[in-house]
């Protein structure tokens, strides 16, 4: 029990010290054959609200689940241009999610 408490204290102190220089992404990176298109409806700061674009008659939605979080990069001035983060960020996100 003491080890667990010491670990919790150490994690709290690390969080306070490194707050300004961290970028955290959480998600599951999965390679899929088909693309999913999202229409951006509204942008607020660094987040957006979108809806799934129906561009294919036989769109496979089996990979989509309620609460699915997709990490994308976009420019608020060009909302229609979304891109997935590079592999380094994806690997970092997978590592953070495993903690």
The structural domains of the chain, with segments of one domain joined by +, span 25-98
pLDDT class of 94 with cuts at 50, 70, 90 = low
Per residue in 38-68, pLDDT (tens digit) is 677 777 776 667 776 666 666 556 656 666 5
pLDDT tens profile 3-31: 666 666 666 665 555 445 544 455 555 55
Query: For residue 88, what are the CA distances in angstroms to 14, 32, 85, 94?
Result: 23, 18, 8, 10
Query: What is the separation of C-alpha 38 from the centre of its chain, rounded to a whole number of angstroms?
Result: 15
pTM of the model: 0.30
Cβ contacts of residue 34 below 8 Å, gap of 6+? 56, 59, 60
What pLDDT is recorded for position 44? Answer: 74
């Amino acid at each position: 029990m003491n080890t667990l408490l010491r670990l919790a204290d150490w994690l709290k102190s690390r969080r306070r010290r490194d707050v300004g220089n961290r970028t955290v992404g959480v998600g599951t990176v999965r390679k899929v054959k088909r693309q999913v298109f999202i229409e951006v409806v509204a942008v607020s700061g660094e987040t957006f609200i979108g809806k799934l674009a129906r561009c294919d008659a036989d769109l496979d939605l089996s990979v989509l689940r309620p609460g699915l979080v997709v990490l994308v990069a976009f420019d608020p001035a060009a909302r229609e241009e979304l891109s997935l983060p590079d592999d380094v960020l994806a690997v970092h996100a997978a590592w953070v999610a495993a903690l």
